Structure 1
Amino acid sequence: MKNKSFIKWGFLVLLTMLVISSCKQDIRSLDISFTPVSTLIGPSDQQDLKLNAQSDSNIVFQWTPATTPDSGLILYQVAFDSVGSNFSKPIFKVISDGSGAMTQATVSQKLLNQIAALAGIQASSTGKVAWTVIASKAANAKASSMTRTLILERPAGFAVLPDSLFLTGSATEAGTDITKAIPMKKTADGVFELYTSLKAGTYQLTDKANGSGTRYYIDTNDNMIKVGNSLTTFVGATKAYRLTCDFTVATVQAVQIDSIGLYQSAKNEEIGELAYIGNSTWAIDSLPVVFVQFSWGRDDRYKFILHTPKGSEWWGSQNYNNVRPAGQPPSYFYLVPVSNTQWDYTFKFDPAADGHEVNVNIYFQSTAPYIHKITYLN
């Protein structure tokens, strides 16, 4: 038994030595040498690109592959910098397609617009940006000796869009306390909307309701949004407005809202006018409602008309045909822009409103869906 154990033990020792010897033979130094990219294929040198940050059309950068003696993995980045630079500290780098493995990089016009801004090209201006390709193998990175120049024409608007926006200032309902700044509703990337009133005074915009936010102002010379701590002055009587700030084109639109009427479909006319009472709210305290008799019954449909100096806007239900409100969820009362047809996209009064008075409130508040409320008084 002892001899057998000894033989088995010896065999294991010998096997272990062979494995160690084999592992030692497999150890070799990593070859990180390679020849960098020699040719940039596209875009062509001095190519003029008129950027549209909202476009779905991308720009594809292409080049010939770097070469390596052992066919090892090489990764690529497109580097952007100012013209005449040596790309030691590029202003921006984009990893190529395929997580860096492909010899092309697909770059959106929105990102190119941001890169142009980093290069110091102002909105609505044209400037130049240089680009090349940096290849890397393990820790060894080499830039191509070839560079090209793009001529980039930036659109109006901001390259980096704010994700939130607030209104503050003495001309606003919230005053100058930045922590009480009024939030605006984000309706799309870079687009914000607010129903509010303005009075004589000054105001500005900020992307944070604290002192650390980026400040914006409206340049009244060209009605464009610009970065800075300047204040915009509002003169005249207090009035309600819909403010729309579009940072994709750096513009602001202020539409005065004269009144909102409650339109009764069966009468084909407005039966009451809601007045602005502050905090993005319109109301009428007591409105008499009488349904209209038809052969099939009494009609109870209604919607709203928003009156502006530019014309009338119709607001109503999300539903083409509607039911009575009893038992319906809050979304039944949501307000959306609708057509001016007499019967479509209307709401229905509760039967309790017929021959009685109601209180009506419309809430165009930025922190919730636009909605209205009917309260039956007697």
Structure 2
Amino acid sequence: MKTIIAKIFIACSLFVFITGCKKSDMEYKDPKVSAVDELYAPLENQQVTLSTQSDARLLFQWAPSHAQDGQLVSYEVVFYKESDKENPVYRITSDNTGKELYANISHLDINRACAAAGIPTGETGTVYWSVTSWRGLSSAVCSQKKKLTVKRLEGFEVIPDNVYLTGAASETGDDIANAMKLQKTGEGKFEIYTQLKSQGGYKFVDRTSGTPEEYYINTSGKLADADNNETSGVSETAVYRITIDFTNKGTTSTKITTMGVFFCPENKVILNLDYQGLGVWSGTGVINFRQESWGKDERYKFQMETSAGTKQLGTVNATDSRPAADAPASYYYVRLLDQNSQWDDKWKFATQVDGANTTVTVTMKGGAPYTHTVKVN
């Protein structure tokens, strides 16, 4: 009996203790965090001319802040309009997912911040930046707001995720449902390998149905809105590599006259590949490996003759071995090389290719990795 009474007493005491606690005492509260007290870089009123180069960045640095519980603080750089330094228009976390006291911010992100601040494309304007400290849901903003003078990129405010080529001069005609997809090569950058006719025009669209946004290359060689159904044209029917850049409205048009298998041991093209259409080249012939004192040499890549000079194509993933029967698809991936050489960025033919009638095909279509195949007939 005494045991039962004791248990009842303990239970009642626990109930009184729990119900006696205030609800507010039981709720979790994020620890407070202090504001950054100094911004180091960039300097006050630093002037920046933005670039579309992929490695173009600006370093932002600041002093540390502290959390009430002693744990790590997260940071983000915030940008403001010149007319409103209270409400940020753009935010970006610091490096290492917000844990560092610095942020290497790309010029493209700074360009977006300037757009949000209302600075027109291609013009110079002012934004202010600061840093917000975070610990959980608690935050504090540095009282300093530093001025940054920026010359914006000349590109489009809205950059499409996908771009297609269409028109009477294109390989697929002027029905946009059949438009050819361009390959995305970077932020706002696209390219296509295709044949264009000298008769008719071509243009770019951002979708293949409905009412797409339309673009063309104007007489100044710049990418522009085709508001009045304008089109681009070429003076000669040929295969071209066309590049367009929505971040600065830049374009290039390079005529490709030949494509072939470059055999490294002989330092020359040994098999010409004919253009088949829709970004595909193919050729058939006997390939003989070169006998060396140490064995047979089978290294190869591809080479084009273009209006911009000789260009080579090689491996995406470096390799120094012959492909196995179950070699991954990535073994054969192709990329345009930055420079020409005899030995770099090459593949090796499989053993059975030596002395055999072989078909080599290069495929460079938008929406999929550029690649090639080697088939012994």
With normalisation by structure 2, the TM-score equals 0.69
Contact residue 114 and residue 160 of structure 1 kept, 8 A = no
Distance 1:12 1:242 in 2: 82
RMSD across aligned positions (CA): 5.3
Matches within 5 A, 1:112-127: 112-127=110-125
**CA distance, structure 2, for counterparts of residue 349 and residue 135 of structure 1:** 57
In the alignment, which residue of structure 2 is the partner of 1:257? 256
Kept in 1, the 8 Å contact 2:299–2:346? The answer is no
Q: Write out per-residue CA displacement over residues 27-62 of structure 1, whole angstroms, 9 at most, x where no aligned residue.
A: 599999x99969764555433233446346543264
Q: Which residue does 1:245 correspond to in 2?
A: 244
Q: CA deviation at 1:127?
A: 0.8
What amino acid does structure 1 have at the position aligned with 2:362?
I
- The question of whether the paired residues in 1 share the 8 Å contact of 2:267 and 2:342 is answered with no
Compared CA separation, residues 30 and 319, structure 1 to 2 (3 A) = closer
The one-character-per-residue Cα deviations of 1:248-297 (angstroms, maximum 9, x if unpaired) are 5442222101122456678776565433231112244x65x485997989
CA distance in 2, matches of 1:374, 1:201: 37
CA distance in 1, matches of 2:265, 2:273: 20
Change (3 A) 1:160 1:326: same
Task: Give yes or no for contact 2:238–2:255 (8 Å, CA) kept in 1.
Answer: yes
In the alignment, structure 1 residue 305 sits paired with structure 2 residue 287:
no
Which structure has the larger Rg?
1
Decide which moves more: 202-211 or 168-177.
Answer: 202-211
| Alpha-carbon distance change, 27 to 209 in structure 1, aligned in 2, over 3 angstroms | same
Q: Distance in 2 between matches of 1:65 and 1:359?
A: 64
What is the CA distance between 1:302 and its match in structure 2?
6.4
Query: Are the counterparts in 2 of residues 49 and 153 from structure 1 also a CA contact under 8 Å?
Result: yes
CA contact (8 A) 2:360 2:372 kept: no
Instruction: Compute the displacement of 1:211 (Å).
Output: 3.8
* C-alpha distance in structure 2 between counterparts of 1:142 and 1:302, whole Å: 59
Q: Aligned partners of 1:315, 1:65: CA distance in 2, in Å? A: 50
Label 1:13 to 1:205 Cα distance change in 2 as closer, same or farther (>3 A).
Answer: same
Q: What is the SS of the residue equivalent to 2:232?
A: strand
Q: Is the 8 A contact 1:81 1:119 kept in 2?
A: yes
- 1:106 corresponds to: 103
Question: Which 5+ residue runs of structure 2 have no aligned equivalent?
Answer: none
Contact in 2 for aligned 1:291/1:299 (Cα 8 Å): no
Q: Name the residue aligned to 2:370.
A: 369
1:184 Cα deviation from its structure 2 partner: 2.1
Letter in 2 for 1:219: N
Distance 1:37 1:295 in 2: 69
Alpha-carbon distance between aligned partners in 2 of 1:87 and 1:271, rounded to the nearest angstrom: 66
- Conservation of the 8 A alpha-carbon contact between 2:290 and 2:298: no
Measure the CA separation in 2 of the matches of 1:9 and 1:342.
Answer: 87
Q: Which residue of 1 aligns with 2:222?
A: 224
- The 5 A counterparts of 1:355-366 are 360-366=360-366
Higher mean displacement: 115-124 or 194-203: 115-124
Q: Which segments of 5 or more consecutive residues in structure 1 lack a partner in the other structure?
A: none
Distance across 2 between alignment mates of 1:328 and 1:93? 46
CA contact (8 A) 2:352 2:376 kept: no
Determine the structure 2 residue equivalent to 1:197: 195
SS at match of 2:201: strand
* CA displacement at 1:113 relative to structure 2: 1.9
Match of 1:277 in 2: 276
2:150 match: secondary structure:
strand
Shift of the 16–307 alpha-carbon distance from structure 1 to 2, 3 Å rule, reads: closer
Tell me how far 1:25 sits from its aligned partner. 10
Number of aligned positions between the proteins = 365
- Contact 1:207 1:213 (8 Å CA) reproduced: yes
